[in-house]
Amino acid sequence: MEYGPRFKTKQQARDGIFQYIEFFYNRKRIHGALGYVSPCQFVATFKKKKRAV
């Protein structure tokens, strides 16, 4: 059973993961599970709250 692409080098794997995150996952689209903010906004808010503690 094939679960995903096989990469010959680590660099090819990094490039494939980057493309998945940037193009398929869509970091800018709002997500209901994240309180209706984009993943980027969610992470920024999380980091800001973590620093305040």
Residue % of the chain over a pLDDT of 70: 96
More confident residue, 16 or 29: 16
**pTM (2 decimals)?**
0.51
* pLDDT (0 to 100) of residue 2: 63
Tens-digit pLDDT profile for residues 28-44: 788 899 999 988 899 99
Query: pLDDT band for position 10 (50/70/90)?
Result: very high
DSSP lists the bridge partners of residue 31 as 37
- Please provide the average confidence, as pLDDT, over all residues in the chain: 86
Would you give the DSSP letter of residue 32? G
